[in-house]
A and B are shown apart, each in its own frame.
Chain A
Amino acid sequence: MMNLDRRLISQFLLAAALFYPAAASAQMASPSSAKPDSAKTDAASKNLSHDLSGVWMQYRDGDVPGTPGMNGVNEHFRPPLTPWGQSQVDHASALQGAKAIAGKEDTSVLRCEPSGPPQVLILPNPWEIVQIPGRVLMFFEEQHLWREIWTDGRAMPKDPDPSWLGYSVGHWEGDTLVVETAGFNDKEWVDLYGNPRTSTTKLTERYRRLNHDTLEQQIIIEDPKVYTKPWVSPPKLHKLEPGWELAEWFCVLNENHEYDSVVRKPAGVAPVPGSGK
């Protein structure tokens, strides 16, 4: 059962990770130290290799300045932008990171617009994988989102309607579940820094269970309209949380003001006690 402690943890993580980046840089994990070395990990036992089910929570091992987590899409590895992509980034009012300006932060999620991949994948909140025949389901505490990944062998539709979540198909390559998604709309960013996602974005996610408690996730973004090369982020580790259940967390417009005052703060204001030393 979801309990208050879990919710508080979750809210705290959101507060810490999303909204106090400037204050949190001192407690960053040292760069690279947390990077997984996939070759050296235990060989996944046969019975686990195709079982990704469970509630997962990303390790707080961010190596991007100003972000304690959320490095599943890693800006260090972003390829050069196209001129069009650059103009989009220049006009975005980032929620966090070096470009964020206090009181001017913006992102569609702050207006309770739906989130979607890859942004929803990198937020430091619990998420769950459920596998059923022909489908892998992902549930996110963030905005109570769910997505389905078709694993029944169907092809990606040729001309999907642009959508918040896109259309996803998956297949196994050895121990790795490869999820391909296309058909996105351009109404949200790939991250919270303002890096664009467009209707030509193709997202590839690679999931591998390194051992019983650890899931490796790698995110690759291809969009020739925005990025001059594929954006290949290093793998990110997630920890199994067997005692957790996803809580109900909807973004509600008429609760947004309270949410803003309690959780979100402009990038420049003081952190909540205990969140940044």
Chain B
Amino acid sequence: MFLNTLLLALREIRRNLMRSFLTILGIVIGVAAVVTMVTLGQGATQMVSDQISSLGSNLLMVRPGQRLGPGRDAAGAPNFKKADVEAIRTQIGGLQEVVAVVAASMTLVAGNNNWASTVNGTTNGYLIAGNWKLAAGRAFLDDEERAGKAVCIIGATVRKELFGSRNPLGDEIRVKTFVCQVVGLLAAKGQGAMGMDQDDTVLMPLATVQRRLTGNQDVSSLMIALKDDAGASKSMEPIRLLLRERRKLAENEADNFNLMDTKQIAETLSGTIGTMTALLGAVAAVSLLVGGIGIMNIMLVSVTERTREIGIRLAIGALEQEVLLQFLIEAVMLSCLGGLIGIVLAFVACLGLSSLMHMPFLFNPAINLLAFGFSAAIGVIFGFMPARRAAQLDPIVALRHE
């Protein structure tokens, strides 16, 4: 009996291709939309947290000026001095590394290629604090740092622009009036949290940049790596007070420097992305609902025709349970087929979109299951319930149904 009924259901689907197609389409769209949106949202969250952790996790960034970002008010805020670095290092506990950085935008020339990038004068501590790894070559030597020798470590983007795929170690780059030798190559990190290219950078010893490029002893920013067990919030306040004192700020004056915890940025960004994911999820839920209503409509609209059909089947001797089983199989098959197509479609779309947006692709079985279950349930319920009502009528009533 089951095989026969399966055959009947299959015939019915084939016979009503348009209706079957529309039913399936409703479920496909519902499932695909929900799964794609939630999966991409999670990929974005993952990407942001990856980028934050590539920044170095227990890190404080100190910059002159009151605000971050474009238009920040750095005019009245003096840079830091080398002595500030020493003061923090000696007076504040729980710190792993205090790194001075002086940045300068420069045009780099190697052979026939030139490239505008940021030169960071710093110490080897920068590699630890910034969570950088060397792909090739070495860090700075002590005497290179002390004497301010003309050596540099370059990022992957700079290497690509100046040397192509050639090994840059030992080659020379001309910056302004001097020539410096490439001693190291940083491992690529990719895009940063704000969308900037972290690999577009050149590191030189602090003294080299101060003497040959900026011409003063100023330090434009500080990176402070905390020991793992030291809480960022605990260290931040003493550092802030120390810097206020050293910068001779009166009690009623605001800070003219900015102290930022990377973990805090990470949390803020993750929170934002989380909100976005929730929003996308809500949009997806609405599309699931709309898809569900679409399925309902298709199913209910065909009830008149199907009631007559059920009447015919009953009149020629079909048992009520045979008719019901047929309609149930039909609804289950259409709903499951639609759900599966939706999941495959979402998988392909997520794969394509996440590679297009350079995001990790995280397959989430729960959301797939949820979307599938919901759509399939709607399809089955609204495919089956009207049929059940019709099959319980007297055959002659079902036949006369207009």
Partners in one complex: no
Q: Which residues of A contact B (CB under 8 A)?
A: none
* Chain B positions near chain A (C-beta within 8 angstroms): none
